[in-house]
Amino acid sequence: MVVVGYDPDVAKAHGYAIRFTAEGMPYAVKSGPHLTTGRGATPDNIVTGNCGSSWVFLYDVGALRYSVDTGFGLVSAAVSYSWAANVVGPAYNYTPAWSGALLLKTAWSAQGARSVSLPGTYSAKSSGTAVLATGVICRSQGPVANQAIY
């Protein structure tokens, strides 16, 4: 997960304010710790950025069925999220999606299983955002998993 913006109304509602560095970089402040910018990451099953990590795992569970596991962990409590895990393969493209309130949780995950009609290599890619109580909006850096499904 990586910071992609700020929601000043959410920040204010949870006791934070958006400030700017001398270079014009925004950040959230409160009496506790705040987020700063950090390094990026290369797509893989687990990708970590400056506001948390996101992941996706794809498993062959037999008989032309797969299971996908996706989610994120954040450095600070979140108020909402929007998430998807696109699975593609031979003549197959399916994207389950989730969204809702997080009630100040720092992690979220989901699992699901489905059948496919053709054996082969399948790929899953997660994407989405989470809005932290600080007003910071974190975006997944797109973790990817590949798996042969038979």
pLDDT tens across the length of the chain (150 residues): 878 888 878 877 776 666 655 566 666 665 333 333 333 334 478 898 889 999 999 999 999 999 999 999 999 999 999 999 999 999 999 999 999 999 999 999 999 999 999 999 999 999 999 999 999 999 999 999 999 999
Distance CA 28, CA 46 (A): 26
**CA distance readout (Å), 93 to 102, 110, 128:** 28, 18, 18
How many CB atoms are closer than 10 A to CB 29? 14
H-helix or E-strand containing 92?
strand 92-94
How many CB atoms are closer than 10 A to CB 62? 9
SS3 30: coil
